[in-house]
Structure 1
Amino acid sequence: MTSTDKRDRTAEIAAAADAVVSGTGLVTVDAGRTGRRIDFVPSAPSGGWSPEVRGDTLLVELGASPTRESARRAAITAGARLRDGDAVTVSAPPELTGPIIDGLITGSPPGAAVTLLVDRPQLPAALRGQLAADVARLARLLVSAPANLLTPGVAAGWAARIAENAGLTCTVRGPDEVRAQGFGALAAIGGGSADGPYLVTLDHLPEAGAPEVVLVGKGITFDSGGLSLKSPAAMQSMRLDVAGAVTVLAVMAALRRAGCSIPVRAVLPFAENLPGPGAARPGDIVTAWNGTEIQILDTDFEGRVILADALALAADSAPRLLVDLATLTYQAEIALGPEIAAVLARDDDAAAEFLAAGSRAGEPLWRLPYDERYLHQVRTPSGVRNHPLHDSGRAITAALFLGEFVPRTVPWVHCDMTGPAWSGNASIDGATGFGARTLLELLARA
């Protein structure tokens, strides 16, 4: 990695963050018409969404019963046909305008300045699609950034920079404050890295009072497994373990532009899980911010440990809804495959609200049982342990562990997006931005 690469990555993230806040990305959306068109039609697709050129029109068949997800996927394919300087009119079913504009922007070639024009009644939906594409792009760039460029301290710095530009109130606790203020779980996992752990709190509309919705994201900037070291192959893609936190950060950056009128808080724990001199050992017992003892039996089960402190702090404000987003367990991917995220919740109404947001966003989610019959695998006589000592049901026991840090009076949803957070091998920028669109929809209706 050369210094030029580093500057280019940094500039790209900065431009994407500015685009989320201001809506001034390379692809612009407006009302109007021009000679060239892209027509999306709900008919049986021929050739798997291969766009067909008919004169000055690019025809894209969506299938007989297109969904928001399938429409966005088709538009991503069509977006690859756009070129720098293009100005095209987009014709689409009104209910699919947002995801189609989102897909066209997402699929457009990097660096291409393009204008997408729609009929004026469809402009509000088109602008929402543009915002979703901008937010997902920022999330993808942050997740895909090499771990030597996105350390915990750098991630906290991006949060502070974005907060200033987006009108958010930001509090950054550095390594010393994390330890001094009793965040023993986060301090333990971050102790093996020279960079140390950081805990970031962001507030949208803090003057409106206590937050109605609090978002928490897992922010492991690199996961080696700590002293419970992963295999070399399993480590290759572990920069993706920051996906939950930076996806939440990207969404927070968009709230002012989205016109979100409710107070929203984000709690983002950042740490690097390395086997350094201060690393946690298997068998160590640490105390979380809410006073609960955690026995760390496996340092590669680190995500739930840092989330324990973050969830305890998030729940302390007694929000109407608490949501955490995390690449937490491989067993969620085993259960649901690589494209569907797992949702676990104690509260049926909270789960239904989150699943409905995912449906509107076109992001596939599936609810798994939050079944307390396995709670004995998590609890110890004096607290909890981070490893269930069983090989099966680990997506459930991970959620049960987290639930020990969220009072039952707080409606809470846990989203394990291990599978859909990344697509492709470890050598490419494979982050998908999954979860960003669902959170935007959730806050738009909250």
Structure 2
Amino acid sequence: MEFKITSGSPEQLESQCLVIGVGDGGVLGAIAQILDEAANGYISGVLESGDITGKKTETLLLRAIPGVAAKRTLLIGLGKAEDRNDNNYLKIVQAALSVIKNIQCSDATFCLDLEATNDRDCYWQTRKLVETVSAGLYRFDSLKSTEPTALKLQSVSICLDEEDDETGSLAVVEGAAIANGMSLTRDLGNLPGNICTPTYMAEQARKLAEENPAFSLEVLEESDMKALGMESLLSVSAGSEEPAKLIVLKYQGTDENEQPHVLVGKGITFDSGGISLKPGAGMDEMKFDMCGAASVLGTMAAIAEMDLELNVTAVIAAAENMPSGKATKPGDIVTTMSGQTVEILNTDAEGRLVLCDALTYAERFEPSSVVDIATLTGACILALGHKASGLLSNNDELAAELLEAGQYANDRAWQLPLWDDYQEQLDSNFADMANIGGRPAGTITAACFLSRYTKKYRWAHVDIAGTAWNSSGKEKGATGRCVPLLTQYLIDRTA
């Protein structure tokens, strides 16, 4: 998909479909007024007929308007002025795209002026339009035997004032990079566990490293992890024929002495629950249990495409959790890389077992910040549903930075408390801690577990169990979250 900035009077723009906004009650915005004047009141006449009222996401497709160069003009309702928030803007773009896809246009031009949102500038509108259109055109059909139908839409132009060309061009570059990172994340998440193994994930990291000289890669094998004392991580892969991998992908975008930001991803490529076997219904969705790792790789791809001037290190703990005669059993005790011991009461609480060793490994980079991303707890879905990711942190400033990034990127998170009061739920009679703390506050106690391995740096945990994938119907599949949040956080860390 090609995105480009264009300028000029809207009635002169040659396009197969020109998209313009109409306010609630048939109020014409600035661009719509220009078009209406060129058409000698044609659009006003349509509005007077009541064919479209301007309600949010309402659409009307017009063909061959007199005095307008575009073959088609799509009127899209912007809704009431006081309701034009971020979420509604994205719904408007999605509604327009739905019509454009159905009429099989090869190109389209969006002329949604700043009246389409309240308090958002040209950069934000342009970037989010690129991300939203890209997400709406995403398809995963590479494993189907039939040849997929090619997308008709090949290019999208965004009409801006000439003075906004530079801002718009930057927004297109960064929006496309984020969209490409999300597509990579979705592709990895949607692959089945028999293809996307820990070894496959390491190969995808190697592919990124080979494509961009700013990357360097190291992949630790199980023998390397054993030498480092990562018994906790290895306890998860013990029952599987697939060997675990610790994938370390470094991006150097500035001076090598600059402290890196570290992203740690949970990469359980399939989670059966191990000996604590999950129910059969819906178990196919446990291929998505590596979406934290996938979002880290997608973010790394995005920042490299943007050439961001900072250093970022990705640490991905990749393993498959399976039952077998060699699998870890409930009641087993393992020693983590940090030297702390863990009583494994439930082998289905495996994400924290791979992350704790990865978080200890992250100490060696003397990081500026560490953010781990994981589909960690079903309790997070009960707490926040599928709209917001859970956020917990040992540093309020870092938490605020991530919350702000998520708000700006429309990939929001919500902070939960990380109080010492919850730590006692992890008490064990036989080890330093148990790997579960019971049903109450399950998301919080999981983060409490991880916090015991993050005392030497600023750390935040993002639980994407409710946001990493959709479960039903035609929308079933990976979402690409939280690539926008993480990428925006890193953009904000640059000058």
What's the TM-score, normalizing by structure 1? 0.88
Aligned letter for 1:414? Answer: H
CA distance in 2, matches of 1:331, 1:109: 29
CA distance in 2, matches of 1:158, 1:174: 16
Aligned letter for 1:236? Answer: D
CA distance in 1, matches of 2:318, 2:290: 8
Q: How does 1:366-445 map to 2 (within 5 A)?
A: 366-380=414-428, 382-388=431-437, 390-407=438-455, 409-425=456-472, 429-445=476-492
In the TM superposition, what is the alpha-carbon distance from 1:361 to its structure 2 partner? 0.4
In the TM superposition, what is the alpha-carbon distance from 1:47 to its structure 2 partner? 6.5
CA distance in 1, matches of 2:24, 2:326: 60
Q: Is the 8 A contact 2:232 2:357 kept in 1?
A: yes
Q: 2:182 aligns with which of 102, 126, 136?
A: 136
CA distance in 2, matches of 1:142, 1:427: 18
**Secondary structure of the corresponding residue to residue 149 of structure 1:** coil
Aligned partner of 1:81 in structure 2 is 99
CA distance in 1, matches of 2:138, 2:436: 44
Gaps of 5+ in 1: 1-25
**Secondary structure of the corresponding residue to residue 316 of structure 1:** helix
Gaps of 5+ in 2: 8-12, 26-52, 64-71, 115-121, 140-149
Aligned partner of 2:132 in structure 1 is 103
Aligned partner of 2:224 in structure 1 is 177
Aligned letter for 1:295? Answer: E
In the TM superposition, what is the alpha-carbon distance from 1:30 to its structure 2 partner? 4.0
CA distance in 2, matches of 1:444, 1:437: 10
Distance 1:335 1:209, change over 3 A: same
CA distance in 1, matches of 2:280, 2:193: 15
In the TM superposition, what is the alpha-carbon distance from 1:426 to its structure 2 partner? 8.5
In the TM superposition, what is the alpha-carbon distance from 1:216 to its structure 2 partner? 0.7
Q: How does 1:48-87 map to 2 (within 5 A)?
A: 49-55=57-63, 56-63=72-79, 64=81, 65-83=83-101, 86-87=106-107
In the TM superposition, what is the alpha-carbon distance from 1:125 to its structure 2 partner? 1.6
In the TM superposition, what is the alpha-carbon distance from 1:158 to its structure 2 partner? 1.1
Aligned partner of 1:34 in structure 2 is 14
**Secondary structure of the corresponding residue to residue 3 of structure 2:** strand
Aligned partner of 1:116 in structure 2 is 156
Q: Is the 8 A contact 1:178 1:197 kept in 2?
A: no
Q: Is the 8 A contact 1:79 1:103 kept in 2?
A: no
CA distance in 2, matches of 1:421, 1:241: 9
Q: Is the 8 A contact 2:23 2:55 kept in 1?
A: no
In the TM superposition, what is the alpha-carbon distance from 1:52 to its structure 2 partner? 2.6
Q: How does 1:244-323 map to 2 (within 5 A)?
A: 244-323=292-371
Distance 1:427 1:126, change over 3 A: closer
**Secondary structure of the corresponding residue to residue 290 of structure 2:** helix
Q: Residue 333 in 1 paired to residue 381 in 2?
A: yes
Q: Is the 8 A contact 1:172 1:201 kept in 2?
A: yes
Q: Is the 8 A contact 2:56 2:78 kept in 1?
A: no
Q: Name which of structure 1's ranges 74-83 and 182-191 shifts more when overlaid on structure 2.
A: 74-83
Aligned partner of 2:372 in structure 1 is 324
Distance 1:327 1:40, change over 3 A: farther
What's the TM-score, normalizing by structure 2? 0.80
In the TM superposition, what is the alpha-carbon distance from 1:166 to its structure 2 partner? 2.9
Q: Computing the radius of gyration over CA atoms, which structure comes out larger, 1 or 2?
A: 2
Q: Residue 164 in 1 paired to residue 210 in 2?
A: yes
In the TM superposition, what is the alpha-carbon distance from 1:71 to its structure 2 partner? 2.4
Identity, in percent, stands at 31
Computed over aligned residues only, the root mean square deviation of the Cα atoms, in angstroms, reads 2.2
Total equivalences in the alignment: 419
Q: Residue 125 in 1 paired to residue 171 in 2?
A: yes
CA distance in 1, matches of 2:182, 2:23: 26
Q: Is the 8 A contact 1:75 1:101 kept in 2?
A: no
CA distance in 2, matches of 1:69, 1:280: 45
Distance 1:356 1:380, change over 3 A: same
1:51-72 CA-partner distances (Å, limit 9, x unpaired): 3323422233344333334323
